[in-house]
Structure 1
């Protein structure tokens, strides 16, 4: 499942204003960014993809079985 990491930073220093957080959708991000921009803040978006099909490794015994 695709998810997005949102970071809000100060334009001048690059320091985090809000701890990065994860959202499922970018719906409304444009309005959110427009509201923060006049305050001297920028919104940075990165994406991650969660995997849900992990495979369990098989442990072998000393006799090879």
Structure 2
């Protein structure tokens, strides 16, 4: 009966983990590059950024 090659199986698991980690890092890097571009569009409008906007005609002292 043939014996199982545990070293081969372990190496394959390690390679799979490494591949998944690289894919995850790649997705995070892509998301990081895309997010600031979307933030710049929202940064032009103070109301979209969550800043308080007061109309000029409603000044109260």
- TM-score above 0.5, yes or no: no
| Higher helix proportion (structure 1 or 2) | 2
TM class by smaller structure? under 0.3
Structure whose alpha-carbon radius of gyration is higher = 2
TM-score for both structures, normalised by structure 2: 0.21
Of the two structures, which has the highest relative contact order with CA contacts closer than 8 Å and spacing of 6 or more?
A: 1
TM-score for both structures, normalised by structure 1: 0.20
